[in-house]
Amino acid sequence: MNTTQSEKLYQTAMEYMPGGVNSPVRAFGSVGRSPLFITSASGDRITDADGNTYIDYVCSWGPDILGHAHPSVISAVKAQCENGLTFGACHAGEIELASVIRSHMPSMELIRLVSSGTEAVMSAVRAARGYTGRDLIVKFEGCYHGHSDGLLVKGGSGLLTGSIPNSAGVPRGFTDCTLVAAYNDPDSVEALFAQHPDEIACVIVEPCAANMGVVPPKPGFLEFLREITQQHGALLLFDEVITGFRLGIGGAQGVWGITPDLTALGKIVGGGMPLAAYGGRREIMECVAPLGSVYQAGTLSGNPIAVAAGLATLLELEKHPELYSELDTKTARLADAARTAGMQVNRCGSLMTVFFTDAEVTDHAGAMSSDTGAYAAYFNYLLENGVYTAPSQFEAMFVSAAHTDADIDRTCDLIRSYA
């Protein structure tokens, strides 16, 4: 496979951008090769600067649930472009999008539109602290919630010891209020509440973890989080940046029947454009300016083009509810092929990860037992055969409505042959 043009572009990019990229995973560092530079995408295919075309299972890391360049989304964006790119003012589209979101996630009684998942989570955490008057938050090892300072932490030598920054440039003081528990481990959460019974503002969780690879919640885990937060007057914050409108039209909270106090959305809700949202119970969100003292603002929040793309995507999902069962079936076929090839597979709806480990992966420690070198070889094998998956062991594989049965079959054949 010839990738000469991508390699040349990468060399040039490194002169202008840190590592030649605008998001670290794009550098392909963990799979041992130069990154691809993409020139176009349509349906379930992407094409690189050398003219190579791949079946795409990254889908821009999740937003393209309908596939790339879906006609309804492109049409909506083009129509809005004719009316202007940005207003920095209110417009009716914001109301319509918020209404559609709330109709499927009624826990989001009031909604604020923002521009990225990181911004949505950061703002939701601030709202939780403002509402409760408490400073501490609990997150889970291996769950990623964007790159805001207070959430770039890990558990150190023990889950109950003080958290340390997981990134240079983050002062210790920013993370002192972040406690870390083990995903799928109620005991670790109970220990933190026992130590800080009246100090925790919220527990933030990916209801199905997808940033250490896909790790579904164990039966009863989400229900436990709902109960313990209520017992202690803390809030439950679902980070549904990935799972929102992906696992179902009502997100993970609809799938598991759990009502969080606050929700952060991104990716699909913007239809491939930079848009995200956070929201929750009315009395909590009324703490946000201009109604309350929790300040959050954004010049491009509710950008009309991004709103048009997100609204068009959600309306398509409303019109075609059968897409979710079809996505589940397609992804199950890929999972079966990987298990036939002897791989450890975690799947939740149209999210899937293959792990190169003998251990069952139910938490961060299990994910970290994976052989990343073996995953890199697997990634490169698929890429050389025209299939593009996540260039990292610790990411999800995304399936879209545009993936054809023929392309699913071809991918399954390649996975099985890898054994």
- Catalytic positions are 144, 239, 267
Number of helices followed by number of strands (H, E) in the chain:
14, 16
Burial class (CB in 10 A: 0-12, 13-18, 19+), 2: exposed
Rg (CA), the chain: 21
Q: Is the peptide bond before 274 cis (omega within 30 degrees of 0)?
A: no
Distance of alpha carbon 120 from its chain centroid, rounded?
Answer: 12
Q: Encoding tokens for residue 395?
A: 């990411």
The burial of 248, by beta-carbon neighbours within 10 Å (0-12 exposed, 13-18 middle, 19 or more buried), is given as buried
Q: What's the sign of the alpha-carbon dihedral 7, 13, 17, 23? A: negative
For residue 304, give the H/E element and its range. Answer: helix 304-319
Q: Which residues pair with 397 in a beta bridge?
A: 352
